[in-house]
Amino acid sequence: MKKTIFALAASAAVMLSGQAFAKTKACFIYIGPTGDFGWTYQHDQGRKSIEAALGDQVETAYLENVPESAEAQRPIEAFARSGCDIIFTTSFNYMDPTNKAAKKHPNVKFEHATGFKRESPNVSTYSSKFYQGRYVQGQIAAKMSKTGVAGYIASFPIPEVVRGINSFILGAQSINPDFKLKVVWVSTWFDPPKEADAAKALIDQGVDIVTQHTDSTAAMQVAAERGIKAFGQASDMIKFGPKTQLTAIIDEWGPYYVERTKAVIDGTWKQQDVWHGMADGNVEMAPYTNMPDDVAAMATKTAAAIKDGSLEPFTGPITKQDGSQWLKAGERSDLGTLLGMNFYVKGVDDKLPQ
């Protein structure tokens, strides 16, 4: 009898120690396919850098094309049950499903991208200040545009997208106060033909610079075909418009993903809310191409100023679209207004869908 108990205890000890050496599993929920060459592609590059950096200590898994609805709950929970130690949910509307799943699985760490709800201690949120890059793009657009009107293909009227639009027009107006921006909403993150249609419509309406907040390279190709300039989104799209792309905002998720997964392995993971930007290397600009040297020099200078903190796009004086004053001269926006931005600034030629 004694022997049996001893054997049981020994095997339990072996099992426990086996547990301790088990790989940490990092799992990802994606809104689109990893092959979109935009948003999801960049997140997947981040996942791959976890494998590269942490090697045998980790294993990773991912699910593509998970809809942004209550339906997202099921795959997130399935991941939580299947032994994932940390789950990254990489789109805004996974916010509620992520928080619900986190309550049910307190031992699993959740990281939600671009959201703001952290309802239990095992949920962190993270985002990047893409709007910093938009400001640089706006300045370039104002220098390069002949018609003084740029087109913006937008997905959904959420703060992240609105922030990008506002930052772009503020950048443009810092060069040309009369610069105008036409916005077209496509109500999807990923639908290449539809994104192409939107680009065509904008160009037919007289814009000569196209920028987008959707996930594919379709708009870049249309711009190339029509012989105008465009900005890449989320990844460097220069191959789709060698004579078209001015620059692109590149999302670098890798460092953050490695850091957080490592924290889980080390047992130092804590809830946090981070908003990294150019200064942290999370937002990079693709090389400035297809523009005169002085414009490229200006863009480089602006990006450097944003990086060292001497320039913040949302610094007053800024007037809202309805004519009321938002920020006084020299005043910087508070974080809350930025995170929940639901209004346009002056110069946006569109009515914000609510």
What is the smallest separation between the CB atom of 42 and other proteins, expressed in angstroms?
12
**Amino acid present at 11:** S
CA distance 136 to 277: 13
- Tell me the closest approach of the beta carbon of residue 253 to other proteins, in angstroms: 17
Minimum Å distance from CB 249 to other proteins?
17
Q: Which is nearer to other proteins, 82 or 188 (CB)?
A: 188
User: Which lies closer to other proteins via its Cβ, residue 111 or residue 195?
Assistant: 195
Rounded to the nearest whole angstrom, what is the least distance from the CB of residue 220 to other proteins in the complex? 9
Q: What is the DSSP string of 51-64?
A: HHHHGGGEEEEEE-
CA distances from 204 to 64, 196, 199, 226, 240 (A): 34, 12, 9, 10, 21
Cβ-Cβ contacts under 8 Å for 27 (sequence gap 6 or more) = 60, 61, 62, 63, 79, 84, 86, 87, 88
Task: Report helix, strand or coil for 101.
Answer: helix
Provide the binding-site residues for other proteins, judged by CB under 8 A. 32-37, 41, 64-65, 151, 157, 182-188, 190-198, 200-202, 204-205, 207, 216-218, 221-222, 225, 239-240, 349-351, 353-354
CB of 199 to other proteins, least distance (A): 9
Token pair listed for 292 = 């005169």
Q: Closer to other proteins by CB, 192 or 255: give it.
A: 192
- Residue 308 is given by DSSP the state T
Rounded least distance, CB 170 to other proteins, Å = 20
Question: Taken in order 43, 45, 47, 53, is the CA torsion positive or negative?
Answer: negative
Query: What is the DSSP track for 274-302?
Result: EEE-GGGTSEEE----SS-HHHHHHHHHH
Smaller CB distance to other proteins: residue 193 or 336? 193
Phi, psi at residue 136, to the nearest 5°? -60, -45
Task: Identify which of residues 139 and 221 has a Cβ nearer to other proteins in the complex.
Answer: 221
Q: How far is the CB of 198 from other proteins (least distance, A)?
A: 5
> Which CB atom, from 34 or from 302, has the smaller least distance to other proteins?
34
C-alpha–C-alpha distance, residues 211 and 214, integer Å: 9
Measured from the CB atom, the residue of 30 and 288 that comes closer to other proteins is 30
